[in-house]
Amino acid sequence: MMIHGLGFLGLSASLVLPLALSGLVEGQRITESLVRDVRPSSSVQEIPLPSRKLISQVGDATTTYYVSGSGNDKNSGLSTSSAFRTIQRAANLTDPGDTVLIMNGVYKNAYPTGSVVDIKRSGRAGAWITYKAYPGHKPKLQLNGWHGILLANNISYIEINGLEIEGNNKNITLAYALSQKSKASNPLTNGNCITVDGRKNVNGRPHHINIVGNKVHDCGGGGIAIMESDYVKLDNNEVFNNAWYGVYGGSGISVLNPWNFDNSQNYKIFITNNKVHNNRMFVPWIQTGKIQDGNGIIIDRSRNSQKGSKLSAYRGRVLIANNISYKNGGSGIHTFQSDHVDIVHNTVYLNNQSPEITYGQIMTNDSGNVKVLNNILYSEPGKPINANFNSKNITFNYNHNANSNLIKVSGPNDTSGDPLFVNPSAGDFRLKSGSPAINNGTKFNSVTKDILDGPRVKGSAPDKGAYEIR
């Protein structure tokens, strides 16, 4: 059993399933010119950010396959009236440039320990393979096995778009899950919704993967788990109610041990415009017997310095921008033994829901070259707003801190007070007129849009948080 990611304060505790199970993981930037009209500016190396348009939109599909809840795998799959019944049937036929359109229906794993779909055929540059909801349809992938969607080994140039992936949480109780707290091989409690896994490393690792616009929820393990992969885009997903019952220290969105597909030092991993909430641990991490993860978003061990690692330190940058991360058990956003991460324009609210965890809304732990700018951090009263442990070259500035005076790291341009959210109890974190977070951020040249795809600067300066109001 390979275990990783334990540090101070419970930090990032991530455990990886045995490779034979292809299992679970979980645990535990935009470098720009900091320019503002009315405040002194600080200059940081500027790295160009690609267009928000999906890379996978380059190239035309050669074949479109159709899948329907009322289809049949003996059909041709080439029209809505001759659709396949299973996504796996289409996945086994795809070639670069193909599209799989999935219509209404519930799609389940074919055998108890399996995946709903195991993608084993890659696209190529300019000819991605796309799996997406048929226009106007809402297909659901429902699992009680190890994975809803699995991409392993060297699978690349794949996009997953507009699907709902639901795990097995509603079918089990906390009492049952606790009775399984020493069972590392039970998929009923440990399954991931979406897994991208390069650990087995057969002919290479995954790269160029887009996971966009999906609803990912109720998996006992992780929501979206990315391991030993590169060029990954996680955008506009809603990820919630995950990591409850697994024994591996799960989180909502986790990126573990990214590897270098190339030597680029630009942004290569994007976690943008997501809503991540109510991901937490109710079952202790099997390695320590403690509750110490359940983060909203975590970048975990990008240095690849753990014992036995065969990967070099990750050289690319990670961008975490325009996300809303709230009411998770651990941190809203967390880095552990990771470098080159930019955490910008996020709204993090009432995280640290697990009583055992007091990491703050945003935590940098044993990390370096991390920028935390233009965020709104709203903590439980009496719990830390943020935390920084054993990290170097860390910048916290232009953030808005609220609801607690326990601010471990601050910058000269931080603000504080009630941010005046519209209706946070209903998950509406837009800012009311008069919010002290409006027009109080610093311009970050690569972030030109907000979470609603509107212009990032509407007034005299950017607003803090995920939304740009005026």
For residue 200, the model assigns a pLDDT of 87
Interatomic CA distance for residues 403 and 420, integer angstroms: 11
| Tokens matching residue 94 | 């795809």
Interatomic CA distance for residues 384 and 387, integer angstroms: 7
Q: Which amino acid is at 243?
A: A
- CB burial readout 227-260, b (16+ within 10 A) else e: bbbbbbbbbbbbbbbbbbbbbbbbbbbbbbbbbb
For residue 418, the model assigns a pLDDT of 98
Q: Map out the domains of the chain as residue ranges.
A: 2-47+106-117+137-444
Burial (0-12, 13-18, 19+ Cβ within 10 Å), 314: buried
Torsion angle of the four alpha carbons 126, 130, 132, 136, in this order, in degrees rounded to the nearest 10:
40
Divide the 470 residues of the chain into consecutive groups of 10 and give the mean pLDDT of each group.
33 39 34 28 38 46 92 98 98 98 97 96 98 98 98 97 98 97 96 96 90 98 98 98 97 98 98 98 95 97 93 97 98 98 98 95 98 97 94 97 95 97 97 97 94 96 96
Concatenating the DSSP letter of every residue in 371-403 gives: EEES-EEE--TTS-SEEEES-EEEEEES-EEES
- Which of 139, 147, 279 lies closest to 214 in space, CA to CA? 139
Q: Beta strand pairing status for 129-133 and 2-4?
A: unpaired
| Tokens matching residue 73 | 């795998």
Interatomic CA distance for residues 393 and 212, integer angstroms: 32
